[in-house]
Each structure stands twice: as structure tokens, then as C-alpha cells.
């Protein structure tokens, strides 16, 4: 059976906008590995759905309160989408850069956000192997945006009020 895309939660729905503000829980891969693999495939379908194409997505955006994100690796050959479980930002550069962002959960809106240009991320892959990786450029912005979702933060929270 093909993997079905999920519906994406948006802030236009009151109940969904509350859900998007929740803290996601850690994934226990020892117990839930098969579930995580299945979920990851459906999450990939969702972010590649012509209805809502994106460069990254986080589990809470499809109503799953778990620490799973999918990021398109523009810093790798062929720009693959990769899954990261329980990702956290260990450190980030003092130097920041302004960049345009949008979000599948905030339809028809983009804005410029300041983000650190370089981050160190720790995560586990679907095999349960731990990785620590330094990431910079646009890919690092996607990681920061998606990890924010796991903590109930939306990119509009980073905008300075004028």
C-alpha cells in the first residue's frame, strides 16, 4: 500500500494553532522503531505533496507530538530529505544572518528572520545511532525552524515588532 500524505495543521484552525504550541515528546526508538519508520515515510509524502511542498516539516505539523523532523539537505549532493529523531541544538554561532522564511502551517506568509549562521545539532537516526553534526547555511536555517516546532515555537515568534 502506498504511503498516504498527512493533512498539515495550520494556524488558521483554532484547535490546530493550540496544538502547534505544545512541547513534543522524545521518541523511544527501542520501543517504537517500526512506527517511526512508517511515520517518516508518510511525513516525506506530506512535504512532497504538490498541495504543500516544503523544504522541511516537523511531526507536530501533522498532529503528532513527537520529536521528529524532516529536513532537505541542500548542503549534500542531490539534496536529499533526511529524518532526524530527538534533535537538539547544542550550540550556535554568535554571527546571525537575515533570511526569508515561510511555514506550511502559516499559509501564504513569508518574512525575514535573523538566525545563527552555524549550529551544532545532536540527533539519532532511524537506526538509533547518535550523531553530532555542524551545519551551516540555508540547511541550518531549516534545522532551526523545524526544531523550533518541536518546542511549540513558530518562525513568526522571531520577528521583531515594528
Query: What is the set of active-site residues?
Result: 146
**Minimum separation from the CB atom of position 149 to Zn ion (A):** 6
**Nearer CB in complex with Zn ion: 36/141:** 141
Instruction: Please count the residues of this chain forming the interface with Zn ion, following the rule CB under 5 A.
Output: 1
Whether 111 and 99 have beta carbons less than 8 Å apart is answered as no
Q: Which stretch binds Zn ion (CB under 5 A): 77-85, 103-111, 118-126, 131-139?
A: 103-111
Cα torsion at 116, 60, 6, 34 (round to 10°)?
100
Among 8, 36, 103, 121, binds Zn ion (CB under 5 A): 103
Q: Which three three-digit cell numbers place residue 52? A: 504543500
Whether 87 and 147 have beta carbons less than 8 Å apart is answered as yes
Q: Which three three-digit cell numbers place residue 71? A: 529536513
**Nearer CB in complex with Zn ion: 57/85:** 57
Q: Does residue 8 touch Zn ion according to CB under 5 A?
A: no
Question: Which residues contact Zn ion (rule: CB under 5 A)?
Answer: 103
Amino acid at each position: 500500500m502506498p504511503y498516504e500524505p498527512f493533512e498539515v495543521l495550520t494556524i488558521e484552525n483554532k484547535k490546530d494553532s493550540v496544538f502547534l504550541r505544545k512541547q513534543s515528546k522524545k521518541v523511544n526508538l527501542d520501543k517504537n522503531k517500526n512506527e517511526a519508520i512508517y511515520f517518516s515515510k508518510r511525513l516525506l509524502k506530506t512535504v512532497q505533496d504538490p498541495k504543500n511542498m516544503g523544504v522541511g516539516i516537523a511531526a507536530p505539523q501533522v498532529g503528532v507530538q513527537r520529536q521528529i523532523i524532516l529536513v532537505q539537505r541542500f548542503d549534500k549532493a542531490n539534496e536529499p530529505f533526511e529524518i532526524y529523531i530527538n534533535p537538539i541544538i547544542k550550540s550556535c554561532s554568535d554571527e546571525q544572518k537575515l533570511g526569508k522564511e515561510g511555514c506550511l502551517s502559516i499559509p501564504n506568509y513569508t518574512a525575514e528572520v535573523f538566525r545563527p549562521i552555524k549550529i551544532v545539532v545532536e540527533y539519532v537516526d532511524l537506526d538509533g545511532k547518535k550523531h553530532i553534526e555542524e551545519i551551516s547555511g540555508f540547511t541550518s536555517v531549516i534545522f532551526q525552524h523545524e526544531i523550533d516546532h518541536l518546542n511549540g515555537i513558530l518562525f513568526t515568534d522571531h520577528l521583531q515588532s515594528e
